[in-house]
Each structure stands twice: as structure tokens, then as C-alpha cells.
Amino acid sequence: MIPATLEQLEQVRKECRTMVRKRATASAGSTLVPLPGTDVIADVGMLMQLLPAINNKFGLSQKQLDGLDPETKSMIYGFVMSIGSKIIGRMVTKELVVQVLKRVGVRVATKSVAKFVPFAGQGLAAALSFTAMRYVGNKHIDDCYEVVKRMIEQREGLSGEPTPALGSAELEQTK
């Protein structure tokens, strides 16, 4: 279910950030396995679980969106497109996760190479793995947050409730 208030939305964001931190820590730990490629396989598996879980927490999974009325669904997909997310409201597949990892590809490739440098390499690989997983997870949280925030603001605007005041800079942009 999509959070109805900004307070609920903030709580969902906090819960999701905790999930991301835990998965990023697990990702860092997976770099300690000395077999080539196991850390990347582990990252793909973790993201295939993490990204749908984040969608679900925000009420933006494919199944949840399919249950909405066409007008609301259209509005949400419009927000998703304006943000440029390829994950919100979609089935998260291995191919989709690989596309996401390609965005942070330099970190992933560096971590794979770094883990074979004696001593400091393992630590560097773990740090890069943690950072890459946290980046992907937090970016997805930020995208979901923005979509739901726009949805809440849209509802408040339609229901006659007061919307957040615009500053003078924003007022100038709307003219």
C-alpha cells in the first residue's frame, strides 16, 4: 500500500535504508570468498531480493500497481518516467539487475580486481562492494520516495488540502 502521508513515507524510507545497510554489509562480506565472480553473483542475488522489497515497502511493486485504478496508475507511471527509473513498478529480473550494476560497473570491476591484491586488496574490495550496493539501494529508495512524495502532493492538491508553500525561486519557475 502506498504511504498516505509524508510521515508514513519518511518511516518507509528509514526502514528501507536499514534494509540497504544490511544488504550492503552482506555484500562486503561476500568479497571474502576467494573464488572469482562469487561476489558479483552474490550481489545480483541480493539485488534481486532487495529492489522488489523496496518497491513493495513503498507500494510500488508491479502487483500493487496493477491493483490501482487506471488514473492513479497512469499518474504514478508518469512520475516514474519523469524520474527515469527502470525498476519501479516492474518485475525485477536478472537482466534488469545486471543493467543496474553496469551503472556502477567501474566499482564492481575494481572490486573484482582489488580482491586479488595481497592484504589491502580484500579490504578495498569489501569497501567498494559495500559502497556499490549502498549506492544502488539508496538510489532506488530515493526514486521511490520521490514518486510517492509527488503522489501525496498531487492528492493533497486535488483534495483542497494545503500544499507545501513555494519559495520565491520556485514561484518564478512556475511563471
* 42 vs 24: which has the higher pLDDT: 24
For the chain, give the mean pLDDT. Answer: 80
Reported as a pLDDT band with limits 50, 70 and 90, residue 121 is low
Among 80-94, 112-126, 133-147, which is the least confidently predicted range? Answer: 112-126
Task: Report whether 3 contacts 58 (CB < 8 A).
Answer: yes
DSSP labels, 89-139: TS---HHHHHHHHHHTHHHHHHHHHHTTSTTHHHHHHHHHHHHHHHHHHHH
| Selected residue with higher pLDDT from 157 and 110 | 157
Is the pLDDT score of 141 beyond 80? yes
Q: Taking 80 as the threshold, does the pLDDT of residue 123 lie above it?
A: no
* Residue 130 pLDDT: 87
Whole-number pLDDT of residue 34: 64
Band of pLDDT at residue 54, cut at 50, 70 and 90: very high
What residues contact residue 172 under an 8 Å CB cut-off, 6+ apart? none
CB 59 within 8 A of CB 158: no
| Percent of the chain's residues with pLDDT above 70 | 74
Residue 159 DSSP SS3: coil
Per-residue model confidence (pLDDT) at position 125: 73
Specify the DSSP class assigned to residue 143.
H
Judge whether residue 143 has pLDDT over 90: yes
> Which residues are CB-neighbours of 70 under 8 A, at least 6 positions away?
none
Say if residue 167's pLDDT is above 90.
no
